[in-house]
Amino acid sequence: MPARIRVQRNNEEIHGRRDTDPLVPKRQPGSSPSEAGFEEAFFDWKGLLIWKRPWTWRRIVTCVCLVATIVLVSLFVVFHDRIVHALQPTVEKIHDLKFGWLIPIAMFFVISFPPLFGHEILAVLCGLVWGAMIGFAITATGTFIGEVANFYTFKHFCQARGDKLQKDSVMYAALCKVIRERGFKVALVARYSAIPGHLTTAMFSVCGMGISTFMLAAVLSLPKQFITVYIGAMLESDPNSSTNSTRKIIADVVGVITLLVTVVAMWYINEAVRKVKPRVIQERQKSWSVPLHTKRRLTTHDFTLQLS
């Protein structure tokens, strides 16, 4: 190689490699395997219903979780009153203690961390024993403090894992982008849905939602807790058949509304992810086009002149 050409090449190593340099790898047009798989919807319900479709691990886990959720919700609805009445004597003993109201607050705090659950039953018991107003105050205080603690816990211990997952998964990166850009709307709709609040809290925290946005959505979603407490208060107010039928009507109406809100929440998030998908893929493709000379460490061999 002539000395002049070799010196020119070494100067390019120092001052920046040209875009036409064949040694610089470029991002090929088209989607990567993960991006190609992301062409589908975020909630691919049609794919779950097509049984001839290949059974991937993701599809198997999704179906198992869906079936398990339906079974648990059905059991909770069928045996709800039995569970509440079985726990009522214990909660009444707690009520008689001097600072007994602190115990359910502590319980709400503990079960605010996934995968624990039981907010609805505990809220009904608070309304049953302490009444609607005091029971709601206990439920709101314990839930709010627990959710904030859950938020900071996942932000502190799981942020690095979340950042790595954003780099590896286009779907998760798009979801995080939606949460950051439409934080309040997504948080409020999700908290009024049937999705467990402590699970959405962990997701919001890791995806980069601000604490002020999360706290505002948490406060505005407290009326959902009041309805649950009020249903428990009606169990104690009058056990006759008319009140019992009214309570069942309220519970059914709340259940239908919650189901509708859940469907709307999933549709809203799905459409939001669809809209940000092109930007996410474009940003990932740009990251591949960064020349490697900015990260390459030059050696003495690169500065050796080879005379021909």
Q: Tell me the per-residue pLDDT of 229-250, one tens digit each, with 9 for 90 and over.
A: 988 888 765 555 556 677 778 8
DSSP secondary structure of the chain: --HHHHHHHHHHHHH---TT-TTS--PPSS--HHHHHTTS-SS-HHHHH-TTS---HHHHHHHHHHHHHHHHHHHHHHTHHHHHHHHHHHHHHHHHSTTTTHHHHHHHHHTTSTT---HHHHHHHHHHHH-HHHHHHHHHHHHHHHHHHHHHHHHHHSHHHHHHHHHH-HHHHHHHHHHHHSHHHHHHHHHTSSS-HHHHHHHHHHTT--HHHHHHHHHHTHHHHHHHHHHHHHHHH--SHHHHHHHHHHHHHHHHHHHHHHHHHHHHHHHHHHHHHHHHHHHHHHHHTS-GGGTPPP-GGGG-----
Structure tokens at 53: 């479709």
Given this model, what pLDDT does residue 306 score? Answer: 44
20 confidence band (pLDDT: 50, 70, 90): very low
Contact 142, 105 (CB under 8 A): yes
Mean pLDDT of 113-129: 87
Q: Tell me the per-residue pLDDT of 198-214, one tens digit each, with 9 for 90 and over.
A: 888 988 999 888 899 99
| 149, pLDDT greater than 90 | yes
Structural domain boundaries in the chain: 39-78, 80-289
Given this model, what pLDDT does residue 48 score? Answer: 54
Given this model, what pLDDT does residue 148 score? Answer: 94
| 298, pLDDT greater than 90 | no
Instruction: Quote the CA–CA distance of 114 and 200 in Å, as a whole number.
Output: 10
Q: Tell me the per-residue pLDDT of 23-75, one tens digit each, with 9 for 90 and over.
A: 444 444 444 544 444 445 555 555 555 566 677 777 777 778 778 877 877 77
Which of residues 305 and 94 earns the better pLDDT score?
94
As a dihedral over the C-alpha atoms of residue 119, residue 122, residue 125, residue 129, rounded to 10 degrees, the angle is -120
* pTM of the shown model: 0.70
| 126, pLDDT greater than 50 | yes
Given this model, what pLDDT does residue 238 score? Answer: 55
Which of residues 6 and 252 earns the better pLDDT score?
252
